[in-house]
Amino acid sequence: MEPTAQEAPPHAEVGLTTTNVIALYRTMALTRALDRRIWELNREGRAPFVVSSQGHEGAQVASAWAVRRDADVVLPFYRDLGVVLALGMTPYEVLLAVFARKADPSSGGRQMPNHWGSRERGIISGSSAPASHLLHAAGLALASRLTSSHQVVFCYFGDGALAAGDFHESLNMAGMFGLPVVFIFENARELLPTTAVDDVAGLANRYGVAAVSVDGSDVFAVYGAARVAADRARRDEGPSLLDCRTFRQLEEGDPLLRLRAYLDEQGILPEPELGSLDDDIVIELNDATARAEAAVGPDPGDATARVWARPLLAQAQEAAPAAEGPPGTVIDALRQTQRELLAADERVVILGEDIGVRGGVFHATEGLYAEFGPTRVIDAPAGSIVGVSIGLALAGMRPIAEVQFADALHEACEQLVNEAARMHYRSDGDVSVPLVVRAPWGGGVHGGLSHSQAVEGFYAHVPGLKVVAPSTPADVAGLLRAAVDDPDPVLFLEHKRSYRLVSGPLPAEGWRVPIGVADVAREGTDCSVITYGMHRHVVLEAAAQLAREDGLSVEVLDLRTISPLDRDAIVGSAAKTGRALVVHEDNISFGVGAEVAAIIASDAFFDLDAPVRRLAMPDVPAMPFAPELENALMIGADEVIAAVRALCSE
């Protein structure tokens, strides 16, 4: 029925002009045509991978129309072809990824197609995980809140995210903190039910997220709801969720056909002109396909490039001289250094569980909440900490995430391993994640299986993630400052037993220890003992006793950085003494000791007078709780002395 003189047409009611509607339709038509073109290329054997967005164009393009270009941030998922085209990505750029060409702006051919990323368009690099990016959205929105930038974060997801913990954690975080984020759920659940929750909008409301269900094929309803949600966020009125009910099959409710009919009925773009528009799209796609397919592929040498935002060359760096300053413990060094970092740089924030008024389970942040307030020292739900901190880092902040125990890192393994460590590589160097994750580790405190794990070998296996394990107050201070400076994610391991047991100078503000540089804690000529963490002090005690009782000169090399290892220092020490023993608390199999031994065997074999030996914990899950059991596994000075004597007698 034609609108009366008093009635505005549906598009005008939601603030769209006829020009807007034509552009919106063209983007939807382009999305559909490009989707079909990629399918054709796949069937012809020219494109190895395709994910369809057909049926989602209305929800995608209409919601993206509410995004402020050059201001807001968007996290699409791998079906969101319409979203990225609406934000300005071209068919040529999309097809460069389809053909895995060097010029692919999202990843340079590193990722499969549909894993979008574009710094200039505010599109955050995505992975294949169905829900991990939702926590990044919450972190980006938290950064917007903390910096008062009024930037709105748009986050898209599909059915597969609903049963993931990150989905619930992100809604909880957004609701708790009233974050300026708009979650857009492309709901095609009739094809793939993934949860018993039928009312997703109702669930979001219970988390404190304003949510509505809309017909995802009605572009005006979707745009209107998205604009309302974005305006709410800009007014700092909290998060929203749009449940856009759509489908992945071309049915009677096809959003493209609905809008096409509307344009004809309203006289905005009659059918003959629509046909001309379709012809123009075919010409555009033909040109884009030919150019993208003819583009050059990546250089094979690029396969090992972009692993780090800041590659480390240990031989080009110098170890810091001995620190001077008033005495203090490791926990004193942590508090003092974090206080100085917060005071010196407004980008630094600390997230953790119970780190505010309580000051953390080990009191490493004690007093910081009172001094800097809840916007700099942020109590956050445990499961959200690392994922949200990644979002903060993507926004240009310098988050320090405290995980109560290193054992809990495994809960955040997806975020650390598949997201933080791989973003620089998968984005072809476009994105860096300057994130520090602090984690107390190790045994000797009767923490049992869930509070005593040594995790360094596990996470050192991950390229793109730097792992440090300082053992003195000075190294804690210097490496923590270096880690916050670093554009790469850094796992900062603190041995729990050292917190109040180990004392030393607290260096002046500004003291830094370079990541990737080992420390010769004691010079020696007869044998090298290579270690890190709490065992630096155990080995030094053993070395002093061996000098007194046996006349042995034992060199003690503290690795300090587990990944990347200081190969020059390891090889140099082993070659100097001719004998090497690696001591660590982690399991003996597949651990840091195995890697160190392999380096020595490879690069210092002809300098050795005896085989490389390892002294480490047997292959048990972690330190058991009972003192008798834990003590049976602990490596003390007596065990080190026996191992050195045996090695030096070979």
Catalytic positions: 451
Cα–Cα distance measured from residue 217 to residue 220, given in angstroms and rounded to the nearest whole number: 9
Cα–Cα distance measured from residue 392 to residue 100, given in angstroms and rounded to the nearest whole number: 30
Strand partners, 400: 350, 436
Q: How many other β-carbons are positioned within 10 Å of the β-carbon of residue 120?
A: 9
| DSSP, residue by residue, 350-403 | EEETT-SSS--TT-TTTTHHHHH-TTTEEE--GGGHHHHHHHHHHTT-EEEEEP
Cα–Cα distance measured from residue 437 to residue 464, given in angstroms and rounded to the nearest whole number: 14
Q: Which of 645, 616, 82, 37 is nearest to 281 (CA)?
A: 37
Strand 561-563, strand 466-468: pairing: antiparallel
Q: What residue has token string 């995802």?
A: 216
Residue type, position 86, single letter: A
Determine contact, residues 219/253, Cβ cutoff 8 Å: no
Q: Enumerate residues 6+ apart whose C-beta is below 8 A from 6.
A: none
Half-sphere exposure of 361 (CA within 13 A, CB side): 13
SS3 157: strand
Residue 293, CA distances (Å) to 102, 112, 441 in order: 11, 16, 51
Determine contact, residues 16/61, Cβ cutoff 8 Å: no
Q: Enumerate residues 6+ apart whose C-beta is below 8 A from 286.
A: none
Cα–Cα distance measured from residue 360 to residue 487, given in angstroms and rounded to the nearest whole number: 26
Residue 614 C-alpha from the chain's centroid: 33
Q: Enumerate residues 6+ apart whose C-beta is below 8 A from 394.
A: 124, 136, 139, 140, 423, 431, 433
Half-sphere exposure of 422 (CA within 13 A, CB side): 19
Hey, what are 106's tokens?
Answer: 């999202």
Cα–Cα distance measured from residue 194 to residue 56, given in angstroms and rounded to the nearest whole number: 18
Residue 47, CA distances (Å) to 40, 99, 126, 177, 633 in order: 9, 6, 20, 44, 55
Hey, what are 614's tokens?
Answer: 């390892």
Hey, what are 407's tokens?
Answer: 């054992």
SS3 187: strand
Q: Which of 382, 379, 380, 381 is nearest to 368 (CA)?
A: 379
